[in-house]
Structure 1
Amino acid sequence: MKKYIIATLAAFTIILNSCLSGQSQNIKTNLTPTEFAERIKAQAKTTLIDVRTPDEFSKGHLENAQNIDWRNNDFSNRIETLDKSKPVFVYCLSGGRSASAASAMREAGFKEVYELDGGIMKWRGANLPETTSNTSSKTAGLSRQQFEALLASDKLILVDFYADWCAPCKKMKPYLEEISKDMANKVKVVRINADDNQALCKELQIDALPVLQLYKNKNLTWNNVGFIDKAGVLTQINK
């Protein structure tokens, strides 16, 4: 009986330890803007990394962030100067580059790496603060009035909200150019760089990329978030 009790306790201890270990391995690392802001605020000293390009960084970034471009050849060397035992917070424009950077950092031995889900676009959409390296470098971009003026046409207006470093955006660009050329009598394609038009995107609630919007007589008739192929776009245009 005594041996049975000891064996049972030992088995219970193993199960309990396994559960606790599983919990530690399942810490949420992909945080919403609010969670990201709260976690940063709770840290006495935060290592916050913006993995976008220096040009993107200069137009607006989170306060106290340091810019380490994920696509730069010196990324690996620069992160080696950081303390791997402390929490690190990373973000980019919409989440793609920061996910790749975070994965690389974990493989390099960083214990805690937190990502901003949806990137700085979701951050802006949540009306959270940001700063610039140089206030004069932040472009005003299109106003809402100027945007509305672009929609004044007897043609269909296909608006493409994109960013230079958005992989799906780059994949869609060639066929959008084809549509602009081949269907010029029916549709006008307007491309708007989200990073250069932050205020407009915020006002229009564009908080992810890419986004395609189709307008007819100034009325929004179709809205698509994320990658879509040419056939899918043509279906909407030819309705």
Structure 2
Amino acid sequence: MTEVIVPVKETFEDENPSLRLVTIQSKPGTELADLDGGSLDAVVSTVDLHTFLQRSAETGTAVDGDAFREVPVGTNETVIFLNDSVKIKKLSRKQLKGIFTGRITNWKKLGGPNRRVVVVWSPAADAENEAFIGKVLDGEQVVSTFCQVASVEEMRAKVLETPGAIGIGPSALVSRGVRVPGSLTVAASIMLITKGEPSPKVQKLLDLLNDVAFLR
């Protein structure tokens, strides 16, 4: 949403006065059922259709996979957000794994200040979290004592205001005051899923995304 939908919302509504572009956070596992039932026009996520179908089956809301279509609409890059009090220029994959799994609890161990590590985490960003956990943490879970926030926007705000804080989020949220160390990024394709072929109003959105070059 942050990478491709939010940036075009105003333009989309200006070009289509009769339409509104409304975004909601779905409960994991219910997305395709909501799409199948008509309460959503499209699902946008870094989770692909195959994985969504698996989740639907696991939550008891299985749907006909042949009824859906997916198209790539951009790329999400997950980066590291650091509070400005942590003057560290680079974090390796091994160090990130130690931080986010709770093995490293003080920045002094990494050459930083003698300050407690505060992991800020948004469980709602499940697709982004899943990719980070798989590719950086080797499937291990995030430390249970993380500071929980409701969204990636709140993650950025919490990291900004909390000495010693670290979090992850889309590169589109990088702003003044946030340190982004030279660390690996986790890139994932952003997919737009519809029931059947895109409706005319969803096609208008796809055309706009193509015009602003989010499509690769």
Verify same fold: TM over 0.5: no
Task: Tell me the TM-score normalised to structure 1 length.
Answer: 0.32
Task: Tell me the TM-score normalised to structure 2 length.
Answer: 0.35
Of the two structures, which has the highest relative contact order with CA contacts closer than 8 Å and spacing of 6 or more?
A: 2
